[in-house]
């Protein structure tokens, strides 16, 4: 099981070090932490696997505010999230740019968590299947890439897909792409065990619950169980 914590725009370097002082995970679970860019250097000095929250497709250039794969490798970062729903919604990420970012990261030797998922409007319109097929088609196949299914209507809303909804979506994604698939969408200690018990769920991409070391550790324990 792979359990990744996406800290989003939380925790500077000092808070990052405080988190690692308190965080303990059981054996038997693969743990990835994704701090904001300013905290990556502090995080890579710890014992855990560290991913960035995004990566640009160009090796260098006039791309203000962006970070290249080579920069992340030089820093000691081991991977990156690509195509998170918040990047798609707030910053215009598209299937095309997700593809470019994935290729750049993989070619530089980084691992990738590539995100897919439908909005509430798309689900209510019965378009979940079509949306996932289009998004997954844009993601390259590579041994160092996993996909995270994150129903957009369950990101930061407190809503969570039922285990049955998650299982159905994961089974579809795996029929299209031969990789591990993580569930992301309001994963918490009290629902993690049921979600992670589904046959096609290979782990979780955790948002808010990953900010607290005890909460995140509880989810990691659920993955082992």
d(CA 66, CA 203): 28
Cβ contact 10:211 at 8 Å: yes
**If you count them, how many residues does the chain have?**
225
Q: For strands 145-149 and 30-34, give the pairing.
A: unpaired
Q: Is 84 a catalytic residue?
A: yes
Q: Which of 56, 84, 170, 177 is catalytic?
A: 84
Q: Which of 86, 93, 118, 150 is catalytic?
A: 150
Alpha-carbon distances, residue 44 vs 6, 16, 36, 198, 211 (angstroms)? 15, 10, 12, 32, 17
Concatenating the DSSP letter of every residue in 19-88 gives HHHH----TT-EEEEE--GGGHHHHHTSSSEEEES--BSSSSSS-TT--BHHHHHHHT--EEEES-HHHH
d(CA 188, CA 167): 17
Report the catalytic residues.
84, 150
């Amino acid at each position: 099981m792979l359990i990744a914590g996406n800290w989003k725009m939380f925790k500077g370097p000092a808070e990052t070090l405080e988190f690692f002082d308190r965080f303990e995970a059981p054996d038997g679970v693969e743990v990835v932490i994704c701090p904001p860019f300013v905290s990556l250097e502090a995080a890579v000095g710890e014992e855990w696997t560290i991913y960035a929250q995004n990566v640009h497709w160009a090796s260098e250039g006039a791309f203000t505010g962006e970070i290249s794969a080579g920069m992340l490798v030089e820093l000691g970062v081991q991977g990156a999230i690509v195509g998170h729903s918040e990047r798609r919604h707030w910053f215009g990420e598209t299937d095309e740019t997700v593809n470019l970012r994935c290729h750049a990261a993989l070619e530089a030797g980084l691992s990738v968590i590539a995100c897919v998922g439908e909005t509430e409007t798309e689900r209510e319109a019965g378009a979940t299947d079509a949306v996932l097929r289009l998004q997954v088609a844009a993601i390259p196949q590579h041994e160092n890439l996993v996909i995270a299914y994150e129903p957009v209507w369950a990101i930061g809303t407190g809503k969570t897909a039922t285990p049955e909804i998650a299982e159905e979506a994961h089974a579809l994604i795996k029929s299209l792409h031969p990789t591990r698939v993580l569930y992301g969408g309001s994963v918490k200690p009290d629902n993690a065990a049921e979600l992670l018990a589904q046959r096609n769920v290979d782990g979780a991409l955790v948002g808010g619950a990953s900010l607290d070391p005890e909460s995140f550790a509880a989810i990691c324990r659920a993955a082992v169980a």
